[in-house]
Structure formats: C-alpha cells, structure tokens
Amino acid sequence: MESVIPYLAPAFSIATGLYLLCVGARLLKPAIGLGAGLLGAGAGFLLAPEMSLSFSPFIVAIIFGVVSAVLAVAISKFAILVILAVSFAIVLPIITWQVASLGDGSKVINDVVEVATEDKKPTQSTNESTNGLSSPELKVYKSVSEMSQRVWSMVRFGKNRILATWDVIPTGSRFIVAGAAVAGLLLGLLIATFLPYFSAAIVTAAGGSILLRIGVGQATNEVWGTDSLTSMNSTLLLLVMAGIALAGFGFQLTYSRKNAATQKAD
C-alpha cells in the first residue's frame, strides 16, 4: 500500500486536470471547487508540519481543501472574470509586440534562455519540522512539495520572460504595449461578462492543461526519479500545453453545441 502513496498527489492532479479539460465549463462550480480544493489541500499539507498540531496532516489538508473549495465556489464567476481579464492583459501585449515588431526578437530569446532552463528539477525539502511525520505522510509531503515548487518555477519563468521582453522594447514603443495591456484587460472583461460559457471554457481548459503538466511531471519523477518533461525545449513544452488547452476548449464547445441541439430536438 505504501508504494502507491507517492502517486496519490499526481493522480489527483491528473484526474482534476482531465475533469477541467473535458467538462469544466459545463460543470463550472464543481470544477472550480475541485481545483481549488486540490490546491487548498496541498497548501494545508505543506503548512501542517509548521503548525505543530497533534493530529495528522491529512486532516489539516482535508480542512484546507474543503474551505478552499467552498470559498472558490462562492466566487467562481468573479474568479473567471478576473482570471480571463488578467490573461488577456498579458497575452494581447505579446501579440502586439510580435505583430508590430517592437524590438529585437533574438535578444529576447537570449534574455530568457537562462530563465527557461533554471529550476528544472524541484529540490528536496530539508524542513526539520517534517521529522515528526510518519513514512506515508512524509512521502505525500515530499510529493506535494515538489509539485508546489514546480508551480512556482512556472510562475517565475512567466514573470521573468515578461520582464525580459519589456526590457528590450524601445522606450518610445512601450506606451503601445501598455495600451494593448489595457485593451486586453477590457476585452477579457467583456468576454467574461457577455460570453460566460465561452470564458469559463477558456479558463478551465487552461487550468486543466497546467494541472496535467504538473501531475504528469510529478508522476514521471516518482517512476524514473526525474521529471522527463523538463528535457523538452521550454517553448515546445509551452506549445504542447497550449495545444492541450485548445483541444479541451474545442471539446467543451463541441459538447455544448451537441447538448443544445439535443435539447432543441427534445
């Protein structure tokens, strides 16, 4: 039984990712609750050793997961609106920069090479507060810790890549990029307001793709001792994740149309 324990966290991540990809928009509140519950449970498990509590970290994880899920469901529509608006505010300036050729593309590539290759492998936790954990609890703790480090690595990569791009844009052209960010923010707000299913499909498909990447990476790390996905080119990996998200988005739209056609026929 203990041999299965390290695979629990990546298995939940993969299952949640597939759920978000396939029916996230159709079953929005359960999808948001499941995703937030998974993140909350992981955070609770990581924080449990620091709390010096007398009961199992699994109980703390369950409490954190339930609270996170309830809060996420309560603000699900608002969360979709904010996430989509911020995403468009990031993506539209990148598209504008590419289309208008605002800077030296090769310099951007050189600037982000170091970022793209750093933090490839999560470091092992050396937290002394984990000494009191049992063997199963410690295995789950290490797995969740590595997955959380992988998430923060992706966040740092995105942040540093955006900053590197901003640095090489000519000063005189930066107001165009800033204007594109504002336009993207407004566009995201409009889409989320007037096309709720469409926007929910975008956000849940993207979230499912990210959870799949994290879960599969951790699963390969448990099996072979290394995240085999890190051997891929960073740009290629990003394109694969985008392709998976696009496939999930298309599936959800197709399912919605078929369901609407069935209801009309009835």
Q: What is the pLDDT of residues 85-127, one digit of tens each?
A: 988 988 888 787 777 665 555 554 454 444 444 444 445 544 5
> In this predicted structure, what is the pLDDT of residue 112?
42
CA–CA gap between residue 180 and residue 164 (Å, rounded): 17
Which pLDDT score is estimated for 71? 93
| Residue 226 neighbours by CB distance under 10 Å | 13
∠ CA 237-242-246, nearest 5°, is 150
Element (H, E) at 144: helix 135-168
How many separate domains does the chain show?
A: 1
- Per-residue pLDDT at 226: 73
- Which pLDDT score is estimated for 154? 76
Q: What's the sign of the alpha-carbon dihedral 159, 162, 165, 169?
A: negative
Predicted local confidence at residue 119, as pLDDT: 46
The percent of residues in the chain predicted with pLDDT above 70, rounded, is: 79
Return the pLDDT at 141.
82
The pLDDT score that the predictor gives to residue 203 is 92
Residues 6+ apart with CB under 8 A from 246: 205
User: Which residues of the chain have a pLDDT value below 50?
Assistant: 108-109, 111-122, 125-126
Q: What is the CA radius of gyration of the chain?
A: 20
Q: Identify the domain containing residue 85 by its residue range.
A: 5-265
pLDDT at site 100: 67
Terminal CA-CA length for the chain: 49
**DSSP class of 122:** P
